[in-house]
Amino acid sequence: MVSQKLNTEDSVLDYAVMIVGGGPAGISTWLHLQKHAPQLADSSLVIEKAVFPRDKLCAGGVGGWSAEVLEHLEVELDIPSLFVSDVEFRFGKETYHLRQTNLFRVVQRIDFDHALVKTALNRGLELHEDEMLIDVAHDQNRLTVKTNKRKYSVQTLIGADGALSVVRRKLTPPHKPRLAPTIQIFAPVDPQYDTEFNENRMVLDLTPIREGLQGYVWHFPCLRGGVPSIAHGIGDFRIHNDKPRADMKKIFSRELKSRNIHREPKSWSSHPIRWLSNEDTVSQPNVLLAGDAAGIEPALGGGIHLALSYGEIVAHATIDAFHKNDFSFQDYKQRLQSHLVGKYISECTHLALEMYGGRRDPLNVVRAFFTKRYERYNLLSLLLSKK
């Protein structure tokens, strides 16, 4: 499915924009460029180190305002999905339910990302698969980018290459990353233990906060190769980094055994989540970060709706840079903070500080957050779709 121009290995290819990473943030960026500045999109490309279809460790909950962004982009994804209308938060024996019809669409990332890429390819995306970023250097007012296959000269480089972003490592000053470790497995539904599938319900269990976990255990119903399954996982956001670390493996192992799942830790999958702080660098001259490369929110770790919206912010910042011939991107952080994405991340950061700080009952914090704010964000998302 590669769309790639043929060139000699020694030539330097000129592009206006290079997007590193073919996930939701990167493809959303290109689709927004194609919608609002088609000529610029025609002079842009995406490089992706993997080959599609490729999977990503993710529970696959597509929620928030994702549907509005996809509608704005005129994207319809005909892929296997499971719709969830009940999110159950637990803390000990107490529960809080957030109910709304089709609140989440649970997908497999191998299907979701592949369908998004195919949509972009059908609209003219130039995609270079099996190609990874090696090095970047400034050359006057442009960048020279070296990959494992060739060299490029680009005006703008967009890092949408995930929590362990190579673009971020190459171009930002070294700093301690804000990475939340996660562990996840998929297991076929056991009707005796896994009631979530038939009840269209997700579970986010905050009980391990009592053991120092700054996160939660999750159980997401899904279809895995057509088989009814549950994504079981755990994450620790570590927003209060002065507190002792929880024993994630011990907590997760105990949780799995309570559901009659016996798997050795070597069979578990893990990948960090990067969360965004106000102190983080998210741009430099000629360079922007998007999606997990920039950071998501540290309360619940929701990422797909944020990744899709990062695409809008980055695309408009890039379009304006070409209109003004100013590639400093000094206003990018302000754009991000004033957008729905930035406001949502800011409120979720406050939620995380309270929920994982041990001073308030986590369910009371969650209940107050969603009852006061959730409907407002749905209204804002409708405005977003009209842009």
Q: What is the pTM of this model?
A: 0.92
Q: What angle do CA 316, 305, 313 make, to 5 degrees?
A: 10
What pLDDT does 387 receive? 40
In tens, the pLDDT along 1-55 reads: 545 444 445 689 999 999 999 999 999 999 999 999 999 999 999 999 999 999 8
What pLDDT does 373 receive? 55
> What is the rounded distance in angstroms from the CA atom of residue 88 to the CA atom of residue 205?
8
Instruction: Give the type of residue at 238.
Output: R
Q: What average pLDDT does this structure show over 299-308?
A: 91
In tens, the pLDDT along 322-341 reads: 999 999 999 999 999 999 99
At 73, the pLDDT band (50, 70, 90 cuts) reads very high
What pLDDT does 1 receive? 57
What is the token pair recorded at 232?
């079981």
> What is the rounded distance in angstroms from the CA atom of residue 172 to the CA atom of residue 165?
11
In tens, the pLDDT along 207-257 reads: 999 999 999 999 999 999 889 999 999 999 999 999 999 999 999 999 999
What pLDDT does 174 receive? 66
Residue of higher predicted confidence among 74 and 387: 74
What pLDDT does 7 receive? 47
What is the token pair recorded at 182?
């996660």
Q: How many CA atoms lie within 13 A of 201 on its CB side?
A: 16
What pLDDT does 60 receive? 83
Task: List the 269-270 sheet strands across, edge first.
Answer: 61-62, 94-106, 82-91, 201-205, 215-224, 227-236, 182-188, 269-270
Q: Supply φ then ψ for residue 57, to 5 degrees.
A: -70, 110
Domains and CATH numbers, the chain: 12-79+108-174+276-385 (3.50.50.60), 179-273 (3.30.70)
> What is the rounded distance in angstroms from the CA atom of residue 222 to the CA atom of residue 200?
9
Q: What percent of the chain has pLDDT over 90?
A: 81
CA neighbor of 56 nearest in space, from 1, 111, 115, 106: 111
Q: What average pLDDT does this structure show over 305-316?
A: 96
CA neighbor of 206 nearest in space, from 194, 193, 215, 219: 215
What pLDDT does 341 receive? 93
